[in-house]
Amino acid sequence: MAYKDAINYLNLPFDQVEWETTDIISPWATTALGTWSYSHDRSAKPRRLRVIARDFDGRTAETAEDATIVLDTPTKTQLPTAALKCVVLGRLKRQANEDQDDKIHYVLLVKKSKRTDDAQGPNVYLRAGVGSMPGRMIFFDKTGAVGHVV
């Protein structure tokens, strides 16, 4: 195990999450849409989760009542949230007329790794935690960075 002691998870409401299908591509995907399947590939090649990592307003997310940030190592010296990016995993299902900016988004928090992988591209990320926040705190107007989570 990578961590000593318990780790925290988000408490997602059953059957109330609209899962993301474009910002995450399974390492076992066989189609452009990222449909998950098992490929019987027994090669030693590592499997990596392909993601779009986006900037977010970490300062607001740390203190806002409608946001939650849970870092994997809360007792160690923390990275400033400015050093983190988020990968949208899904969003809370709500009314059809609800504005995207107000919908709660569930995210994987990642930090850029110092190592690069020429075969996979320059953006290699490590998991740093999880969170939830309204869409207005995620910078969708900017292009996210395509990379891999190892």
The pLDDT tens digits for 1-21 are 455 666 567 788 888 899 898
Whole-angstrom distance, CA of residue 147 vs CA of residue 142: 15
Mean pLDDT value across residues 48-68: 91
- pTM of this structure: 0.79
Contacts of 115 (CB under 8 A, 6+ apart): 124
In this prediction, residue 28 has a pLDDT band, given cuts at 50, 70 and 90, of low
* Residues facing 70 on adjacent strands: 130
What contacts 8, CB < 8 A, 6 or more positions away?
70, 130
Q: 126 in the Ramachandran plot: left (φ > 0), alpha (ψ -120 to 50) or beta?
A: beta
Please state, in angstroms and rounded to a whole number, the distance separating the CA atoms of residues 150 and 51. Answer: 11
Q: How far is CA 112 from the centre of its chain?
A: 12
Higher pLDDT, 92 or 97: 92
C-alpha–C-alpha distance, residues 134 and 137, integer Å: 6
71 alpha carbon, distance to own chain's centre:
12
Confidence of residue 36 (pLDDT cuts 50, 70, 90): very low
Given a cut of 90, whether residue 101 has pLDDT beyond it is no
How confident is the model at residue 150, as a pLDDT?
81
User: What is the Cα–Cα distance from 55 to 8, expressed in whole angstroms?
Assistant: 23
Task: Report pLDDT for 1.
Answer: 47
Query: What share of the chain in percent tops pLDDT 90?
Result: 29
